[in-house]
Structure 1
């Protein structure tokens, strides 16, 4: 009855053993935490990290390709609550990464990965004036991802957006300068302190009265009742 599943798992084990130096099998027979014959991490990984320097312990899972993180990686506390959803390319953060507390989202980051195999990388950047044109920008590879795009900070308990920052190839942008990707400048909010309230239209009866009395000398009250 159990011969076929056991034989199947045995074949998986023998195949994995031929490809990897070390690995482990999940309850479903998936190969996890594999290190190939070159000593590089490959495939699905699930790791528990102990508490260190005041930071609580956590678990993370994702995929390695040639010893580099690739695609979406999830991080959880030991209660199973999500702590982070990060995206990787070439082992560097790429795209949107979100970070959480047990109460809710805390911040959202935006990254641009640089190929670590190149000393310099060429990135196509949209022309600020003509969105149909792209300019090739050469970026020196410092070994890290570049902050690129909008970063958002939240109140985790209420989910309310507190502030934003905008980066362009790791440079913090002035909020009033044109967006180098869209070419659009940020529109300043109206100054409500200086803005005058709009005047209400006058009733028709008042307008008719003012029209009739226009040009006539108005009587001035002096408070006198007459007499000597």
Structure 2
């Protein structure tokens, strides 16, 4: 046998040996993973799903199917559990396969932005804050109603472990047009103000909404008029034939 053929034979033998060595290692890892699950099922790709460990806690990737019941539509959702609590990103679908919601969890509670869809379009978003269940008190920051740059720190007792916190947005169905917002500060709704856009469609905004406050028209009745206009109005206040143009339209 030539030197070239000998080297080729040795290289081929080594590759086959490595493959044979990897097979039991993969099987060992796979068996150890499943050995932690008292109950589980396998996906079409061989992934371990719906694991219940020896302590009867849900772990890892889960796919859940809920049938329609008493008029309530069914759905399917997928995400991960950690020690029986939802963790990270979860997706929910209708039984027809349409995306219904994308939710984020921490410690089993909603945390951060949540998105909800209707007929394939974004319907509204929510903003939540999850609180560590081990905490009995939490520190929050409260904005001064009279001074937007002043913030007070306040320690409160924890009564719920998921609170509305941040901006909630509502959209026109099928158009992705923002029609309303709500701002929450630790489960407290900041009183909304109704304003009008250029097309005169009403929209609800809050005093702390950074998305719209710079783009919406505002009027301040306390704004001082120029001195010349004040003198003109004083001089002709009893003359009904003179009209002062103030920028308004219509009769």
TM-score when scaled to structure 1?
Answer: 0.69
Is the Cα contact below 8 Å between 1:115 and 1:121 reproduced in 2? no
In the alignment, what sits opposite 1:158? Answer: 175
In the alignment, what sits opposite 1:108? Answer: 125
CA distance in 2 between counterparts of 1:83 and 1:25 reads: 25
CA distances 1:159-180 after superposition (whole Å, capped 9, x unpaired)? 221211111000000236864x
SS of equivalent residue, structure 1 residue 14: helix
Uncovered stretches (5+) of structure 2, i.e. residues with no partner: 1-19, 194-205, 220-244
SS of equivalent residue, structure 2 residue 192: coil
User: CA shift at 1:142, angstroms?
Assistant: 2.6
In the alignment, what sits opposite 2:189? Answer: 172
CA distance in 1 between counterparts of 2:190 and 2:64 reads: 37
Greater C-alpha radius of gyration: 1
Is the Cα contact below 8 Å between 2:99 and 2:120 reproduced in 1? no
Q: Find the partner of 2:53 among 14, 23, 36.
A: 36
User: CA shift at 1:28, angstroms?
Assistant: 2.2
SS of equivalent residue, structure 2 residue 71: coil
User: CA shift at 1:30, angstroms?
Assistant: 1.7
Is the Cα contact below 8 Å between 1:25 and 1:32 reproduced in 2? yes
In the alignment, what sits opposite 2:80? Answer: 63
In the alignment, what sits opposite 2:111? Answer: 94
In the alignment, what sits opposite 2:65? Answer: 48
In the alignment, what sits opposite 1:196? Answer: 246
User: CA shift at 1:8, angstroms?
Assistant: 7.1
TM-score when scaled to structure 2?
Answer: 0.64
CA distances 1:72-104 after superposition (whole Å, capped 9, x unpaired)? 110011222110000111111011001001141
Is the Cα contact below 8 Å between 2:98 and 2:120 reproduced in 1? no
Give me the CA root mean square deviation.
3.2
Give the total of aligned pairs.
189
Between Structure 1 and Structure 2, which shows a larger proportion of helix residues? 2
